[in-house]
Structure 1
Amino acid sequence: MSQSSSRVDRAPILVLGGGIGGMSFAILASRAGWPVHVVEADPNWRVYGAGITVTGPTYRAFRSLGILDDLKAQGYHVTEGGRICIPNGTPVADLQDRPIQPDLPVSGGIMRPDLHTLLSRLTREAGVRVSLGLTATEWTDQGDRVEARFSDGSTGTYDFVVAADGAFSKARSFLFPDAPRPAYTGQYCWRVVAKRPPEIDRSHFFVGAPVTCGLVPVSQDLMYLWLLENVPEMRRVDEATAYQRLAALLAPFSGPVGAVRDALNADSWVNVRPLEAVLLPRDKWFKGRSILIGDASHATTPHLASGAGIAVEDALVLVEELQRHADVPAAFQAFTDRRFERCRLVVESSVAIGKAQQDHVSPETMGAMMAKAQAALLADI
């Protein structure tokens, strides 16, 4: 009997969380022959957010997942670098980026709900069992299996647990009560979706104003605006008046950014959140037959646009190591050894870039910091 066929006779893998990392792992593990059960707390399996920027390394990960063509068709992609502009929209420089591999875009974007819809469809098509409106309240490691109890009172027996339940992971708190939690990094990120004018044919970055912002195409018709605001301490943002605050922050801009600002009104859906990050130490990535992946172990800020990418990479590497090792904890250790430094690079570099923005370092210094981190991420996983 082949290894993949023998997996079908084993207890299923329990995946906690139906986000990008959890779905990516579930798809790959199911394709490799494992039975998989995903439990997701949201009964409607919704996703919030505006657009998501996709970098070359993230496209590479999505290609390994088998969704590159779908991603390109549903989103927006370019084969050239971004454009630097001054606040009035006048271009001052084009970034001379090149594809990291001949068949990959340099960068692009997609609406986060569209990516979620794509991944959730592929998850179900892969034969994954999905339970919505359900959480695991506790589970016990029996050495060769895991016994889990759920919020509806039901129980189940599983081969092992993959926790991909986000930056504020309940699984992390359950496994490691003393683990660090996400810490505020001093900035808020604002996002809003707008109609894409023809001239926004790639990512545009606007510099020289008190705040930094950008425009990212996410489809033939849409783009999203992002803005980073330095805020020393976390504060509550009133959703009803968020559009007015964003308009005030965009006051120094004209051109395409000014057009987005002028279109803001009470019906505009403005996404704003404090930027928080956490990197768990190596010895808290897994425990026995339970492992944390994605934001549950390494939540980052968006400065390198790599959070989704490294979550998909986690899924790819974890399935590879599970196929190489018959012993589950040995596979988890191999995964941790492969992933820790790369994820640390993303988290620590992103936080450092945000700190540099708060300290108003020179554009040359900022550019060098970003270029160094981006060059390191070109290495394959």
Structure 2
Amino acid sequence: MPEGISRVLVVGGGFSGMSAAIEFRKRGVAVDLVEIDPGWRSYGAGISLGGATLRAFRTLGVLDAFLATGYAADGVNVALADGTPIGTLPTPRIAGDDVPGGGAIMRPALAAILAQATRESGADVRLGCTVSAWREDGEGVEVTFSDESARRYDLVIGADGLYSTLRKQAFPHAPAPAYSGQGVWRAVFERPEQVSTASMWVGERLKAGVNPVSREAMYLFLTENRPSNEFVDPAQFVTQLRDLLDTFGAPEVRALRDQLGEHSQIVYRPLESLLLPRPWYTGRVVLIGDAVHATTPHMASGACIGIEDAIVLAQECMGEGALTQRLARFEARRWERCRMVVENSARLGEIEIAGGDRMEHAGIMRETLAALAQPI
């Protein structure tokens, strides 16, 4: 084991944080993971995943669990709002010839898979706990926790999400998350047998789609332009989502509209993004995932690049040189890929809001998917 990395603290029990715990434990490093939510809950409906994410799952060792619980398929069918087919967006089999090019799963289901793998790795998981303060010296970091306990670490990994407390402490002048001008609706439905892969319907100002998340279920997603980030009353979810779906003429979309009712599981989320300028580390504290590069979901790659961060960080921290050199190598490997996803996703949103050039939109998607297929 390289000098100086024997005990690591991961702050945040989301996808990126759990992945970091798993990868460092593989390398024999003692890992504590603290998560402020005592229930270790994961909110939301479905999450779409590209081939690069499935490749990352294979590295983590959770691909089989995902395939057993979620859903994987090849290609994305694209049509106009009235149902007229446009074509099929190919999804290369990046994770291997035996694994489809994309998929989806319910967020709580993916969180449960990663939580089980985290506990099985031997990481010490402490729930209802987070960092209150830390003090760094030449040999390590003394961390004080919200339960008033204190422990010493060689490295602290901030994976506490879009509204990261650790980011505010480590980089007090960091930019705040920015609202994109769009929100996304998600709802869960039973999966008809004929829905065997992801499909999208593209209108003038709205984009809707469905993706299977298991053998029994699928989720609907709909991107809506909203000039301001105002509160949406959950009591109005059904009515508002029905009205939005009513603008589509495609029979498949209208059928979903007709199924909506008070029983429906609906989630609305304003879309925000963040790209922290380099550096992403200070001393022995490094940030990963949404804490440094939160993206809108236009490329279905937010979870992907966060999980990849964890994999690359563990690889580089086990390399040679001083810790600052290893963290610099991590950042150098991650910066351009993460910048591309955040900025390209934001540009796709801008085109959708403006009703802009669909050829530019399609070109950005193709170029980004091709880049994501490259090794990390």
Shift of 1:156: 1.1
Show structure 1 runs of 4+ deviating over 4 A.
none
How far does the alpha carbon of each residue in 1:168-197 deviate from its partner, in whole angstroms, 9 at most, with x for none?
A: 100000001101111011100111111111
User: Are residue 86 (structure 1) and residue 80 (structure 2) matched?
Assistant: yes
Quote the Cα distance in structure 2 between the aligned partners of 1:120 and 1:269.
24
Counterpart residue number, 2:267: 271
How far does the alpha carbon of each residue in 1:261-297 deviate from its partner, in whole angstroms, 9 at most, with x for none?
A: 21212232211111111111112x0000000000001
User: Are residue 324 (structure 1) and residue 283 (structure 2) matched?
Assistant: no
How far does the alpha carbon of each residue in 1:305-358 deviate from its partner, in whole angstroms, 9 at most, with x for none?
A: 001111111011001101113532221111001100110000000001100111
> Counterparts in 2 of 1:363-374, with a 5 A limit?
363-374=358-369
Counterpart residue number, 2:197: 202
> Counterparts in 2 of 1:1-381, with a 5 A limit?
3=1, 12-78=7-73, 80-100=74-94, 101-253=96-248, 254-283=250-279, 285-381=280-376
Quote the Cα distance in structure 2 between the aligned partners of 1:93 and 1:126.
43
Would you say the 8 A contact 2:51–2:91 is kept in 1?
A: no
Sequence identity, in percent?
44
Shift of 1:12: 2.2
Shift of 1:25: 0.6
Quote the Cα distance in structure 2 between the aligned partners of 1:145 and 1:288.
9
How far does the alpha carbon of each residue in 1:81-132 deviate from its partner, in whole angstroms, 9 at most, with x for none?
A: 1111233445442234432342331111111111100000010111110000
Would you say the 8 A contact 1:15–1:163 is kept in 2?
A: yes
Quote the Cα distance in structure 1 between the aligned partners of 2:125 and 2:90.
43
Quote the Cα distance in structure 2 between the aligned partners of 1:91 and 1:220.
25
Shift of 1:65: 1.0
How far does the alpha carbon of each residue in 1:199-248 deviate from its partner, in whole angstroms, 9 at most, with x for none?
A: 21111010235411100111111111001111111111101211211111
Would you say the 8 A contact 1:30–1:127 is kept in 2?
A: yes
Quote the Cα distance in structure 2 between the aligned partners of 1:269 and 1:198.
20
**Secondary structure at the counterpart of residue 329 of structure 1:** helix
| Alignment root-mean-square deviation, CA | 1.6
Quote the Cα distance in structure 1 between the aligned partners of 2:204 and 2:178.
27
Q: Which runs of 5+ in 1 are unaligned?
A: none
Would you say the 8 A contact 1:52–1:109 is kept in 2?
A: yes
Would you say the 8 A contact 2:69–2:214 is kept in 1?
A: yes
Quote the Cα distance in structure 2 between the aligned partners of 1:210 and 1:342.
28
Would you say the 8 A contact 2:205–2:225 is kept in 1?
A: no
